[in-house]
Amino acid sequence: MAAMIVTAFGTLLLAVSVFCYEPDFHDHKYTRHPNWRLLPIEKCGKRANFTDDLSIRTIGGRVAELGQFPWMAEIVVKDYKGCDKHHCGGSIINDRYILTAAHCVYEPWFKVRLGEHTLSTCVDCTPDMRRCAPPAIDVDVEEVVVHPWFSSFNEHLKYDLALIRLKQPIYQFNDYIRPICLPTYAQDETSFENVLVESAGWGWTLPNLVGGSSDQLQTVRVPLLSEKTCNQLCAFYRLVKDLRWNWCDGYVDDNEICAGKLKGKGVCHGDSGGPLMTSANVPGRAPSTFLVGIASHVFGILDCGSGIPDVYTRVSSFVSWILDDIYE
């Protein structure tokens, strides 16, 4: 999560916006799908109401509060010594599936870790040690479904999403392991420009890939950019031959989301597959957290936090594909 350390951004305090919706909240094309029942609509996107937020603020962002993102999954691989190594992030969407970036699942072996916060400790606690989470759990992978139009040979990584089916279901959700909501709302996301959203991950915290992955889960708040604004920025920086913008030769389309553009704020290597989130007021219940994007164009950018927008796979474009491919 490069944004955490790179550059100060004054004393501006940012808050994730909360959307308000009409009573007819969910899009009927989803509610009528036979697999709609597999989405934990009543349980998703809820965080425990902890009162001991002692998270450490860093330049551009902060260390996440313990239990702040209970839907966060970690994809773990083996390093050359055979030891566990952080690889990517992901999001719990129900008791059997993790949603992540397609480019994260092309490893010969990996597992999913749930309920993780600090990578170097077995039991994670608040800084004052008054609250501790249960140990993280490791779950083997039964099946991986990559979007059929994704190509790892395309450097622009269109359709960069994949479903990971866990070998065993998550038998019981708790304060530290819970699903996030999919964007099944009927609201048009084109109205969200400049709305602040939140990203989380264990990615690198220094520019130029110095120092390695963060030991603690990091979070940063950034504004959404419209497709038009993002492509205008692409066109300008390609014109001046800024090599950091090579990723946008193919242009951002309506299956992707741009977010960021703030100096010292953004995602970095190791944040791939992680969630871009927003809160929404759902009729009849407390505000819930929705998954709007999957971190995609981050793994190849050396100058993280430089003010170049990050590109995420737009989850709302693929809800039907997700529903088609999950099963009990």
For the annotated catalytic residues, the residue numbers are 103, 160, 272
Six-digit token string for 70: 């209970």
Angle among Cα 209, 76, 16 to the nearest 5 degrees reads 65
Number of Cβ within 10 Å of residue 52's Cβ equals: 13
Q: Could you tell me the maximum CA-CA distance found in the chain, to the nearest angstrom?
A: 54
Name 276's bridge partners.
199, 293
- From edge to edge, which strands make up the β-sheet containing 162-166? 137-139, 111-114, 72-78, 84-92, 97-100, 162-166, 141-146
- The answer to whether 200 and 275 have CB atoms below 8 angstroms apart is yes
- How far is the C-alpha of 328 from the C-alpha of 15, rounded, in Å? 37
Angle among Cα 180, 182, 183 to the nearest 5 degrees reads 130
CA–CA distances in Å: residue 296 to residues 52, 54, 215, 293, 304:
33, 30, 21, 9, 14
Strand 288-297 versus strand 275-281 pairing type: antiparallel
What are φ and ψ of residue 31, in 5° steps?
A: -65, -20
Q: Which of 232, 239, 276 is nearest to 256 (CA)?
A: 276
Q: Which secondary structure element, helix H or strand E, spans residue 89, and what is its range?
A: strand 84-92
